[in-house]
Chain A
């Protein structure tokens, strides 16, 4: 029915007492997510939003058997929070924080090699949602609908748009994963595509990429090896201006890859259809124009009609 996040997910929220942490924890709770703990150093032993607060993630895991985490702490402390979560044994860590220094994330990635059981999503991402079941992060659940379309995206609002359009077309989603917009990320498109591939409940896949990096190209390569998913890709930024570059180092590493053109060609070569707008993406996925009906009016899921 989903990837990564299901009814058994027991969530600990780091930074739960902050403004953002509080607001989004309530949102997560309101759709039934099992938020079993929060952390806030120095506030251990108290409760917040009906959730027990601990000083450390390790304490929270020991006392509540939490297995997944959401991170809402400010950028200077976020890298450490991710490593704390991984070291405490969480198997899924979702970092929403935007603005973490790149060098911090490179060290985190190296640290995570010691914790292969921990999957990181983000940072600088909207998180993930399994419609009707649970979410970690900030994706507005009112636009989601349970179903069989997997969504994986690097963007926030563009994901919400696609989700809302899918829902109003009656095409529900299995899980929606925002992998984040930073250069150094946890799970890549490749990783998430593979998870959807192995999820029998996911029949369709919407992949929303962006210019920069070559994660999209690599995912295209994976899909080109043979996939049971009906996939449509969309790349935003095809007309974005090229950044004013200083040195050659970036170009030496990335060459001609990373452009919208290179990504779209990679998907086409892999037999994956490429949409030019998010509306077209939905149209191609469900085979009918994305009707703008309010959510819930039309419940047919793709493959069933």
Chain B
């Protein structure tokens, strides 16, 4: 789950990391009241994606009226596909230095990595590219977490030794996001050091592991419903389907993530674009196919559907019968191309043909066919 900034800050604050004072506002009036109470604030769009500053989602304001106007502009705005549901009004900070502090899973090392750099801010990726040595890294033992001397080494390696007394506890607290909440990414950028040497989280990003959601039900209940995101993706999630919205015109159903991705590639290669795809997993049972098809068809941009199924344990004739049944019960009138391979593929193809569905011999041929039919 991707937490919004204010949610991530609530969590970090509970872990003991200092955050600036701030208030959530869902209406312009609330934003005005927040400013009246807090003084000059940054009015910040709350979306689960980076780059909101560049998209005009952050405004610095001095007065309540300015705050109201800013919130009016920002709430409801679309940032990279997310409608901004609310803003976070936060006290402007007295900044002496901006530091980068981040944690993520380094999949090549199959380990957690904590990263610290004296140069925080938006250009950190460029810095990583140009002078990787400016970012100090620590791979803590995953059973016991980082030891004090390791954190000290990290801070000195980043050239921030003079702030170690303030920084070490913050890094240790951020690391608890991993052990306590199964974070896969936790980032404070910038981590602000004030003129008095105090450390405050200027921004916060926190993403938790979906696979570990079963042990963090409270977090899901508290924060799960704030962001609306894609309505089709939400519906698919309710039905326990793996579904992704895209912006083309061909709906795609496949069994298995690799096969789905391979099918997207084939459609693009044939000159078309996928509207969405749904991974129905290994089994491909009739009711799952029907469910997937109905979610795929919710998107009005879909002009045709390509189904690519490999029958392993599930037999091709069973899959074919399920498909015919799904098409009929959903009263599907759009072009449909099915590519069926694997167990009992011949019988499956005969069933499809007998019911007016033309089976594609290969994935490539099927992709070309659906692209032609949806042109």
Number of A-B contacts (CB under 8 A): 198
Interface residues as binary, B109-127 with A (CB distance below 8 Å gives 1, 0 otherwise): 0111101000000001100
Identify B211's interface contact among A101, A251, A292, CB under 8 A.
Answer: A101
Chain A residues near B341 (CB-CB < 8 A): 161, 164
Is A288 located at the chain interface by the 8 A CB criterion?
no
The answer, yes or no, to whether B6 is at the interface (CB within 8 Å) is: no
Chain A residue contacts of B141, Cβ below 8 A: 110
Render B192-210 as a binary contact track against A, CB cut-off 8 A, 1 for contact. Answer: 0000000000000101010
Asked if A106 and B111 sit within 8 Å, CB to CB, the answer is: yes
B364/A101 in contact, CB under 8 A: no
- CB of B259 within 8 A of chain A? yes
> B96 contacts the other chain (Cβ, under 8 Å)?
no
- In whole Å, how far is B140's beta carbon from the nearest beta carbon of chain A? 10
A304 within 8 A of B: no
Q: What is the CA–CA distance of A238 and B110 in the complex, to the nearest angstrom?
A: 24
Q: Is A214 an interface residue (CB 8 A)?
A: yes
By the criterion of a CB under 8 Å from any partner CB, how many residues of chain B are at the interface?
A: 70
A5-13, A42-50, A53-61, A180-188 - interface stretch = A180-188
Query: A102-B105, A156-B282, A253-B113 known; A248 and B125 CB under 8 Å?
Result: yes
Q: Is A241 an interface residue (CB 8 A)?
A: yes
Interface size, A (range): 35 or more
**Are A140 and B343 in touch, CB under 8 angstroms?**
yes
Question: Which A residues from 56 to 110 make CB contacts under 8 A with B?
Answer: 75-76, 99-107, 109-110
A154-B264 Cα distance, complex, nearest whole Å: 17
A305 beta carbon closer than 8 Å to chain B: no
Chain B residues in the interface with A (C-beta under 8 A):
2, 48-50, 80-81, 100, 102-108, 110-113, 115, 124-125, 128-129, 135, 141-143, 178-179, 182, 184-187, 189, 205, 207, 209, 211-212, 214-215, 244, 246, 254-259, 261-262, 264-269, 274, 282, 310, 312-313, 341-343, 361-364
Q: Given A140-B343, A183-B107, A277-B364, output 16 extra A-B contacts at Cβ < 8 Å.
A: A101-B212, A103-B112, A106-B105, A140-B312, A143-B342, A164-B341, A184-B110, A185-B110, A237-B264, A237-B265, A246-B207, A247-B102, A248-B102, A252-B124, A255-B128, A278-B262
Q: What are 9 A-B pairs with beta-carbon distances under 8 A? A: A155-B257, A158-B256, A158-B259, A236-B261, A248-B102, A249-B187, A251-B125, A254-B108, A276-B265
